[in-house]
Amino acid sequence: MNKLRPGSELPEDLQKLYLTRFTGHEAYRNRIWQVLTSEFFSRWVHSSSTILDLGCGYGEFINNVSAGKKYAMDLNPSTKERLNDDVEFLEQDCSLPWPFPDHSLNVVFTSNFFEHLPTKHVLQATIAEAFRCLKPNGRLIALGPNIKYLTGTYWDFFDHYLPLTELSVAELMSLNGFGIEQSIGRFLPYTMSLGYQPAVWKVRLFLKCPFVWRFLGRQFLVIGKKTEAAA
């Protein structure tokens, strides 16, 4: 579930990295995200929601989620070819102003993306844009590798820059006006699409057994909510 950062590499470099890392795994990754989306993340996305998949990779999440209006942002130009027809693609650096009015999104979702941003300043600018564009009571849902539980293996990916935990991400969201609705340090395993590939039924069972997360989880899940008062 690792994705590359719009802005840290040239578009042609992103294309090469995506092809090197994900070729041959696309069908499996899509099946995993079908389960993650329908059986877990969909509880925060309504059929009328306007949603942005930030650092969308090949669109495994945004293609599988049901929503009223769907956007996907990435700098890899090949991403557009992978997106369904109902997804509008935004090819831009995430730290620059987003092409949305204030208070226009219900959900900003991002998975395995923040760690690819080159500096904390870029990450903070990205969080600030999410806050600006979200409606009151809108949510920023962030999933990513937790450096506390990975140490050396975190750096096995050349394009990892920022070591983050659920606490540091929650703190940054709070500094930008979000109320923290959930902060889970151990959620999903580090990767379920490279190396060991568990059967889809095992992923489905894993999601229904939170007590197991504390033993196998290596990724954080942080959900920030834009409160009425903050808006």
CATH number for the domain harbouring residue 52 = 3.40.50.150
| Arithmetic mean of pLDDT, 67-73 | 98
Residue 1, in any domain of the structure: no
Q: What is the pLDDT of residue 67?
A: 98
| Beta-strand relationship, 69-73 and 178-184 | unpaired
Q: Which pLDDT value is given to residue 11? A: 59
More confident residue, 16 or 66: 66
This prediction's pTM: 0.89
Position 5 confidence tier, pLDDT thresholds 50, 70, 90: very low
Q: What is the extent of the structural domain holding 206?
A: 11-226
In a domain? residue 146 = yes
Cross-strand partners of 145 = 219
8/93 Cα distance (integer angstroms): 9
pLDDT at 131 > cutoff 90: yes
pLDDT (tens digit per residue) in 13-56:
666 666 555 555 688 889 999 999 999 999 999 999 999 999 99
Whether 169 is in a domain gets the answer yes
State the chain's mean pLDDT as an integer.
Answer: 89
Asked, for residue 3, whether it belongs to a domain, the answer is no
Relative orientation angle of helices 200-207 and 26-39, to the nearest 10 degrees: 30
Order of strands, edge to edge, in the sheet holding 219-226? 87-90, 69-73, 50-54, 105-111, 134-145, 219-226, 178-184
Position 35 in a domain: yes
* pLDDT 10s digits, 138-153: 999 999 999 999 988 8
Q: Which ranges in 134-218 belong to alpha helices (H)?
A: 166-175, 200-207, 210-216
Q: Please give the pLDDT value at position 194.
A: 57
Q: How many domains does the chain have?
A: 1
> Is position 39 within any domain?
yes
